[in-house]
Chain A
Amino acid sequence: MTVLQKFRGAMMDTITQFVNTPDMTSQAAAQAMSDAVAAQQ
């Protein structure tokens, strides 16, 4: 992940949430990761 730390942190948070939340769907995770990065822009 060669992005600024603020974006990398947002991506990592979402991915870890996905790993630790069994009922989180792939669609929801992808949308959440996109939203989290957008919020940092």
Chain B
Amino acid sequence: MNFVTKAGLGLLAAVLLTGAASAAPKTNLMSQWASGSDGAAIAKLGDMFTAAGGEWQATSIAGHTANTLAKLNADAMAGNPPPAVQLKGPEIAEWNETGQTADLTDIATKEGWDKTVAPELLPVMKPAGKWVAVPMNIHRINWTWASSKAMKQVGLTAMPKTWAEFNADCDKAVAAGLVCVAHLSADWTDATTMENIVYGMDLDLDKKAFVDGDVDALKSPGMIKAFDQLRLMVNKYMDPGIAGRDYDTASNMMAQGKALFFIMGDWEIGTLTAAGYKYGMDNDYICGQSPTDWGKPGFILNSDSVVLFKQSDPDYAAGGQLLAHLIMSPDFQYIFTRPRARSRRASMSISRRASIPARCSRRPTCMPRSMPARWCARWPTT
């Protein structure tokens, strides 16, 4: 069954669920996915929505999540919340408390979302028991990527398992005249690196600090130790040319062997694949879980998701149901998360996305062999 057929069924379902003979389901998805592969992925969602008989609009808010929230706040205060908005984690619960979110429970029950969505996401998508959001994927943040060429140059055969091993490997890289850690100029990458460090050093601290926002944890001795590690990396293991460096340049530094490591989330495999790099010690790069000092596999989880808001216009209400159905369809989850969609579906050009479908039906790409086959097993997550 191709996605158009499924989408058509979704349209029928949406109309039935809203109990209204919608002239044409409509939606307007507000997101940060404005350009490049992100924009292409959303355009494909728009194609699916249109193929199902809907009228599609997308509003792109470039930059930080804060920009999206500012726009959402303004629209909601004006009594005109957008039909659909890209939001994450606790923001979903906060907006649910305003009473402005749509209830997706009927379609969720009909389509069995509770059984197909990763259990870690359920309390996020249904913060007060009813479905108000749909997940598009699951990202794993704590990956470290390594240049096969650089590893051979400094005599390494495996990824570092602890931060002490990481530092020892870096010392070898620096002694060999290499940059150890490729890094770029963006605040979110600084935060990603820091979160990898804290998570790898102290799982409990990571949860208290970066999930609970505990102000004591944020200034604790463990956090100071983590900043020490970051300072070591900035001063000794990164190079002085970070300012102004973009993502692709940093990624290429690693892949081409100018730098040993690149600490980055799972989306990096899409960038590498799009640039023609190949996995393997005999090829361009390998990857593994970022170091942990507590000796177990771990997973810093991040999920892109869309919150649906109540709409007084029945066409937009029906459109919300259709959009939720399409986002949760295996076809879209596959499209949105596959790093080389171009090679499997000729009409697509989504090359840089590489995450895990939020549904539990597919394995992630570049998963280390030590991890369980069912990626949605309950590992330590934050």
Bound complex: CA A31 to CA B216 (Å):
9
Complex contact B227–A26 (CB within 8 A):
yes
Q: Is B195 an interface residue (CB 8 A)?
A: yes
Complex contact B211–A13 (CB within 8 A):
no
Bound complex: CA A1 to CA B91 (Å):
12
Interface size class of B (residues with CB under 8 A): 35 or more
- Per-position binary interface string of chain B over residues 292-307, scored 1 when its CB falls under 8 Å from any chain A CB and 0 otherwise: 0000000000100000
Complex contact B90–A4 (CB within 8 A):
yes
Q: Is B215 an interface residue (CB 8 A)?
A: yes
Instruction: Please give the distance in Å from B85's CB to the nearest CB on chain A.
Output: 13
Complex contact A1–B235 (CB within 8 A):
no
Known A-B contacts A22-B235, A34-B215, A34-B219; the reply to A3 vs B210 at CB < 8 A is: yes
Complex contact A11–B191 (CB within 8 A):
yes
Complex contact B218–A2 (CB within 8 A):
no
Stretch at the interface among B62-70, B152-160, B166-174, B249-257: B62-70
Complex contact B213–A37 (CB within 8 A):
yes
Known A-B contacts A18-B230, A30-B227; the reply to A13 vs B219 at CB < 8 A is: no
Bound complex: CA A11 to CA B191 (Å):
8
Complex contact A18–B191 (CB within 8 A):
no
Complex contact B230–A2 (CB within 8 A):
no
Complex contact B90–A12 (CB within 8 A):
no
Chain A residues in the interface with B (C-beta under 8 A) = 1-5, 7-9, 11-13, 15-16, 18-19, 22, 26-27, 29-31, 33-35, 37-38, 41
Complex contact B218–A30 (CB within 8 A):
yes
Smallest CB gap from B207: residue in A: A2
Partner of B69, one of A5, A15, A34: A5
Q: Is B245 an interface residue (CB 8 A)?
A: no
Bound complex: CA A15 to CA B213 (Å):
15
Given contacts A5-B69, A26-B224, 10 further A-B contacts (CB under 8 A): A1-B210, A2-B382, A3-B211, A4-B94, A5-B91, A13-B187, A15-B190, A15-B191, A15-B194, A33-B223
Bound complex: CA A4 to CA B235 (Å):
31
Instruction: Please give the distance in Å from A19's CB to the nearest CB on chain B.
Output: 5
Complex contact A2–B211 (CB within 8 A):
yes
Instruction: Please give the distance in Å from B43's CB to the nearest CB on chain A.
Output: 26
Known A-B contacts A2-B89, A11-B191, A15-B194; the reply to A31 vs B66 at CB < 8 A is: no
Known A-B contacts A16-B187, A27-B224; the reply to A33 vs B210 at CB < 8 A is: no
Instruction: Please give the distance in Å from B139's CB to the nearest CB on chain A.
Output: 12
Complex contact A30–B223 (CB within 8 A):
yes
* Chain B residues with CB below 8 A from A13, complex form: 187
* Chain B residues with CB below 8 A from A15, complex form: 187, 190-191, 194, 230
Smallest CB gap from A19: residue in B: B190
Bound complex: CA A27 to CA B93 (Å):
33
Smallest CB gap from A1: residue in B: B210
For B66, B191, B195, the residue with the greatest tally of chain A CB atoms inside 10 Å of its CB is B191
* Chain B residues with CB below 8 A from A8, complex form: 65, 191
Bound complex: CA A27 to CA B213 (Å):
18
- Per-position binary interface string of chain B over residues 57-87, scored 1 when its CB falls under 8 Å from any chain A CB and 0 otherwise: 0000000111001000000000000000000
Smallest CB gap from A32: residue in B: B219
* Chain A residues with CB below 8 A from B225, complex form: 26
Q: Is B116 an interface residue (CB 8 A)?
A: no
Instruction: Please give the distance in Å from A16's CB to the nearest CB on chain B.
Output: 4
Partner of A34, one of B190, B211, B218: B218
Q: Is B342 an interface residue (CB 8 A)?
A: no
Instruction: Please give the distance in Å from A18's CB to the nearest CB on chain B.
Output: 6
For B69, B194, B223, B228, the residue with the greatest tally of chain A CB atoms inside 10 Å of its CB is B194
Complex contact A12–B187 (CB within 8 A):
yes
Bound complex: CA A31 to CA B66 (Å):
24
Bound complex: CA A8 to CA B66 (Å):
10
